[in-house]
């Protein structure tokens, strides 16, 4: 196991984290979806590299699924939804870049602090990859929590899925069947969400969660 092989894996994982951090402060939906697409491409590359390292050909299929679905199909579909909902010209209110980046880095430090002592018997670079994968998940959750627009929350959810895929492939344990079923469930969930978004938009003329809360009568 050459050092440089793991260095490449490590760099790709780091770029995934960078993608998540970039998503935190994007305030235009189209740019957000583009970053998600880029992140999925890097995920596909990372999975393909792991397939090459671990000599597991079924991971190549996983990489192809990641590329096809998450990098091409889903972002294209999301963009179509955004254009049809007319949201591509809106700017979301997001906290400033300084605060969000600091929060993201705090989450990265937290993920490392939790994962590194737990996985003490594993090879150091793999440990760091798992910690980085957990950071992607945490930052994805932060994205979902801090956004008001339903579409950006979907993007956050998809980036969480990217993080889980990274962790799973690094652990060299996820069989192809599980991967395919996870991908299909994501797809189904996505279709359902898309349908609901259109229905909500038809009913209430908005997908802004704050406004929807007011309709529910729960605004205090």
Q: How far apart are CA 119 and CA 128, in angstroms?
A: 9
The full length of the chain comes to 220
Q: Phi/psi of residue 149, each to 5°?
A: -95, 135
Nearest to 16 by CA among 153, 162, 164: 162
Using the rule CB under 8 A, is 99 a contact of other proteins? yes
Select 22 or 153, whichever has its Cβ closest to other proteins. Answer: 22
CA 138 to chain centre: 10
Q: At closest approach, how far in Å is the CB of 113 from other proteins?
A: 6
Using the rule CB under 8 A, is 14 a contact of other proteins? yes
Select 122 or 193, whichever has its Cβ closest to other proteins. Answer: 122
CA 94 to chain centre: 18
Contact 186, 158 (CB under 8 A): yes
Using the rule CB under 8 A, is 191 a contact of other proteins? no
Select 45 or 183, whichever has its Cβ closest to other proteins. Answer: 45
Using the rule CB under 8 A, is 98 a contact of other proteins? yes
Using the rule CB under 8 A, is 124 a contact of other proteins? yes
Using the rule CB under 8 A, is 31 a contact of other proteins? no
Using the rule CB under 8 A, is 108 a contact of other proteins? yes
Select 64 or 97, whichever has its Cβ closest to other proteins. Answer: 97
Contact 195, 150 (CB under 8 A): no
Using the rule CB under 8 A, is 7 a contact of other proteins? yes
Helices (H), 26-96: 29-54, 57-65, 74-85
Instruction: For residue 98, give both structure tokens.
Output: 């300084």
Using the rule CB under 8 A, is 127 a contact of other proteins? yes
Q: At closest approach, how far in Å is the CB of 128 from other proteins?
A: 6
Q: Quick one: CA dihedral 131, 66, 183, 151, positive or negative? A: positive
Residues in the site for other proteins, rule: CB under 8 A? 3-4, 7-8, 10-11, 13-15, 18, 21, 25, 96-99, 101-102, 105, 108-109, 112-113, 116, 124, 127-128
């Amino acid at each position: 196991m050459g050092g440089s092989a793991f260095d490449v894996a490590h760099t790709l994982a780091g770029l995934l984290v960078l993608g998540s951090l970039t998503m935190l402060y994007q305030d235009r939906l189209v740019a957000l979806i583009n970053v998600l697409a880029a992140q999925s491409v890097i995920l596909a590359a990372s999975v393909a590299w792991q397939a090459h390292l671990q000599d597991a050909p079924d991971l190549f299929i996983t990489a192809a699924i990641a590329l096809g679905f998450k990098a091409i199909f889903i972002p294209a579909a999301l963009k179509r939804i955004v254009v049809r909902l007319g949201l591509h010209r809106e700017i979301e209110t997001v906290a400033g870049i300084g605060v969000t980046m600091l929060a993201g880095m705090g989450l990265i430090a937290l993920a490392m602090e939790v994962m590194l002592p737990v996985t003490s018997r594993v090879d150091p670079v793999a440990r760091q990859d798992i910690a980085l994968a957990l950071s992607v998940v945490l930052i994805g959750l932060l994205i979902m929590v801090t956004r008001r627009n339903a579409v950006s929350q979907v993007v956050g959810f998809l980036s969480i899925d990217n993080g889980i895929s990274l962790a799973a492939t690094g652990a060299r344990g996820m069989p192809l069947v599980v991967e395919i079923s996870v991908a299909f469930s994501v797809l189904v969930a996505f279709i359902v969400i898309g349908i609901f978004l259109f229905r909500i938009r038809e009913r209430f003329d908005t997908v802004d969660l704050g406004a929807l809360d007011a309709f529910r009568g729960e605004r205090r």
